[in-house]
Amino acid sequence: MLLGDRSFVDREEAADFQKTGVFHVLVVAGLHVGALAFALYWVGRRLRLSRVWTMLLTLTILSAYVAIVEQRAPVLRAAMMAAIVVLGGFFFRRLDLLNSAAVAALILLVAKPLALRDSSFQLTFLAIGCITGLALPWLEKTAQRYVRALQGWRDVTRDAVHEPLVAQFRIDLRSLAQWLSGRLPQRLRKVTGDALVGGLSLTFRVWELLVLTMALQLGMLPLMARDFHRITLSAPMVNLAAVPLTGAIVPIGFLTLPTGLILRAAGKLLAAPLAWLSELLLHIVRWFAHFPRLSYRVPGPPLWLMVLFFAAALLLVTEMRLKHPLRRATIGVLSTVLIACALTMAIYPFAATRTKGRLELTVLDVGQGDSLLVVFPGGKTLLIDGGGAFGGFPGREERNGVDPGEEAVSPYLWSRGFQKLDVVALTHAHQDHLGGLIAILENFRVAKLWIGREVSSPALTRLEELARERKIIIEHELRGGSFSWDGVDSDFLWPEIVHEEVSPSAKNDDSLVLRLHYGSETILLPGDAEKQAEGEILSENNPEAMRSNVLKIGHHGSKNSTTPEFLAAVQPHVGIISAGEDNPYGHPSPELLERLKNAGVRTLRTDRDGAVHVLTDGTRLEITCFFACPGAASVAASMRADAPNYQQDKEKK
């Protein structure tokens, strides 16, 4: 961690830190570098080195540190900033942090202009901007002068140096100390004054830290919402503990590394308090992460709101730096605008983007797995499956690697402004369908969870536990069930089971099969159903009723699904295959692709075309792919040719 190695922090811990808003303590190397520079400076002064030597020592070790961590961008940025501060302090004595930050940013941008679009570059300099532009001037106007007033508070002759209000504070302080010591036992009298001043000075330190983290929280909010989709209300409280702890851990850590290399025993001796402090930090962060309401996920804010926010922030910073500040009213108005913008981002009162009056199906690209979003004409939402982290042997998949629920499905839903889902459905409990749903239930307000057949599997148990924790209603859906939303008649064709029957393991043939009718269009979503389930569905429905214009191809395009008989009954115009590139199962099978081609089905694949988006008003289909849909032009032409027929058909009816 000290050498900028982020992999040291494991996923779960990182998530906890992110929830409580102290993630930047771990990742933004600025704090480490800053702590190192500060520690070196302090050591230099303690050793009574001259300013030149202190500066040289700090710069040398800083550059050595940058060399060790292989010049990762955030470390390099922070080191440059620290170097400019040290050099600036040497040449100009009183230096302005905001100017040094601007110089560092400028140098980096001249060297690499594209860095401006890099999110970690923006986060670093925004953090510095919040501290130097907002927090420090604010402190200067409030606590700072009283902190200075505490120095030599017994000395009456120094009162005149301070402004009248602060001088009065010193006089009050002395009389309070005198009054207190008059009332206390003899033994305590001597220390009363110092205890009072000590307590006051600690209170000011806590206040400073609170102002700092609140300014950071406020200023970073737009980028945290845009990049991490997270709002953390507990951040100022957690930082109150985390910042001093990190401040202790980092210098001890830097001391332990070289000491351990030179003298093992001494290194071990130092490592003990280091481990203890780190454990304490983790405990505090974990405790705060327990409160779900203090940290939640939101869609990224709209651009105009970000522009308004930063315009108000910039004006406020400028205002505070003016020698002759404008009226208090201006500051009041700017602060109100700033806070109103921040609240709007945190609440996100905007409606999701959707096409009114259309039924929409989006087959998301989640690699190997399934995740389908259905948006009904009136705005009801149904998410079927959530993809799943993929690894291990077929049949024994483990949850590892990138979680598509968190990395693909959630960002997609946020990008459209969704915060809640009416129903999340799980077709069957295989990892490539279930895995991502954990993140979905955590990130969104979900009203209901639909499950087909109950299975005794740890993954499903965990999902159901999470659903109960979050007060999500769990319902089991089976063949014969139906619902009608916004004019879309939907029915379940499978699974056929005795209601409370629990299967020992998840099977493709137990998949929830859903059919949606809207006007003259039908969409069939068979999950991973295979030959056997397809056969039974066919035998229970007459072939006429099976016709569907759009078919999500069963089981990622395996040759054991979408049998010739099934295909002959359904007669789809469009078949959509959801499969991962180079997946170990060889989905979709060339045999099936051939079968689809011979049946004249227009086949779209998420591994090749990206997410596939189907929109229908009940009479015609509009299909778009994330990358270009193959053969789009010719299909558009044939659709246009089709359209009059639709019209005629309707008139005949």
> Which of 137, 387 has the CB closer to Zn ion?
387
What whole-number distance in Å separates Cα of residue 534 and Cα of residue 425?
A: 20
Q: Which two tokens stand for residue 56?
A: 């040289």
CA distances to 175, 548, 583, 599, 608 from 588, rounded to whole Å, are 85, 21, 9, 16, 11
Q: Please state the closest distance from residue 580 (CB atom) to Zn ion, in A.
A: 10
Residues 433, 556: contact at Cβ < 8 Å?
no
> Which of 295, 508 has the CB closer to Zn ion?
508
> Which of 504, 644 has the CB closer to Zn ion?
504
Q: Please state the closest distance from residue 405 (CB atom) to Zn ion, in A.
A: 14
Q: Please state the closest distance from residue 532 (CB atom) to Zn ion, in A.
A: 14
Q: Please state the closest distance from residue 385 (CB atom) to Zn ion, in A.
A: 8
> Which of 454, 528 has the CB closer to Zn ion?
528
Residues 378-437 binding Zn ion (CB under 5 A) are: 430, 432
Per-residue interface string for the shown chain with Zn ion, residues 479-518, x marking contact by CB under 5 A: -----------------------------x----------
Burial environment of residue 292 by CB neighbours within 10 A (0 to 12, 13 to 18, 19 or more): exposed
Q: Please state the closest distance from residue 496 (CB atom) to Zn ion, in A.
A: 18
What whole-number distance in Å separates Cα of residue 91 and Cα of residue 277?
A: 38
> Which of 546, 553 has the CB closer to Zn ion?
553
> Which of 432, 607 has the CB closer to Zn ion?
432
Q: How far is CA 528 from the centre of its chain?
A: 30
355 three-class SS:
coil
Q: Please state the closest distance from residue 508 (CB atom) to Zn ion, in A.
A: 4
Instruction: Tell me the site size for Zn ion, rule CB under 5 A.
Output: 4
1 three-class SS:
coil
Q: Please state the closest distance from residue 371 (CB atom) to Zn ion, in A.
A: 11
What whole-number distance in Å separates Cα of residue 82 and Cα of residue 410?
A: 38
Q: Please state the closest distance from residue 570 (CB atom) to Zn ion, in A.
A: 19
Q: Please state the closest distance from residue 215 (CB atom) to Zn ion, in A.
A: 48
Q: 116: Cβ–Cβ under 8 A, 6 or more apart, which residues?
A: 109, 122
Q: Identify the CA nearest to 90 among candidates 144, 53, 60.
A: 53
Q: Please state the closest distance from residue 505 (CB atom) to Zn ion, in A.
A: 11
Q: Does 454 bind Zn ion (CB under 5 A)?
A: no
> Which of 239, 371 has the CB closer to Zn ion?
371
Q: Which residues lie across from 425 on neighbouring strands?
A: 384, 450
What whole-number distance in Å separates Cα of residue 564 and Cα of residue 555?
A: 15
Q: Which residues lie across from 420 on neighbouring strands?
A: 445
Q: Please state the closest distance from residue 427 (CB atom) to Zn ion, in A.
A: 8
> Which of 137, 557 has the CB closer to Zn ion?
557
Antiparallel, parallel or unpaired: β 574-577 and 602-605: parallel
Q: 556: Cβ–Cβ under 8 A, 6 or more apart, which residues?
A: 368, 369, 370, 528, 577, 578, 579, 583, 585, 587, 588
Helix (H) and strand (E) counts for the chain?
26, 21
Q: Does 528 bind Zn ion (CB under 5 A)?
A: yes
Neighbour tally for 172: CB within 10 Å: 10
> Which of 536, 617 has the CB closer to Zn ion?
536
Residues 96-125 binding Zn ion (CB under 5 A) are: none
Q: Identify the CA nearest to 408 among candidates 428, 427, 422, 390.
A: 390
Among the candidate windows 292-300, 333-341, 522-530, 545-553, which touches Zn ion by CB under 5 A? Answer: 522-530
DSSP-derived letter for residue 324 is S
> Which of 24, 555 has the CB closer to Zn ion?
555
> Which of 515, 552 has the CB closer to Zn ion?
552
What whole-number distance in Å separates Cα of residue 596 and Cα of residue 393?
A: 28
List of residues contacting Zn ion (CB under 5 A)? 430, 432, 508, 528
